Amino acid sequence: MSENNDELIKAQNELIGILFEIIKRLQSNNDLDEEYFQIISKKVRTEIENSRLNKITKERENNAEIVSRLLKQIESN
């Protein structure tokens, strides 16, 4: 019985860790969205701002890929 409880607790802790990472990545994308829209709404952008837009897009895509992988990991368990 204790062994089953230990396994259950371990599984719950893993799930909590995965969910925490998902929330962290989604919040990061939300913050990046705010910055993205502030820059994109300008009529004239500097080269630095255009470069930042590219970095934001890449970071958002990376976060989305990681979230997708984590959700698949939850599904498979």
Using CA atoms, how far apart are residues 10 and 30, in angstroms rounded to an integer? 30
Q: pLDDT 10s digit of each residue in the chain, 77 long?
A: 688 889 999 999 999 999 999 999 999 999 999 999 999 999 999 999 999 999 999 999 999 999 999 999 999 87
**Per-residue model confidence (pLDDT) at position 13:** 95
Q: What pTM, to 2 d.p., does this model score? A: 0.83
Q: Which amino acid is at 52?
A: R
| Domain span holding position 12 | 2-76
What are the tokens at 49? 């701002």
What are the tokens at 20? 């925490």
Domain count, the chain: 1
Q: Are 74 and 15 in contact (CB under 8 A)?
A: yes
**Per-residue model confidence (pLDDT) at position 2:** 80
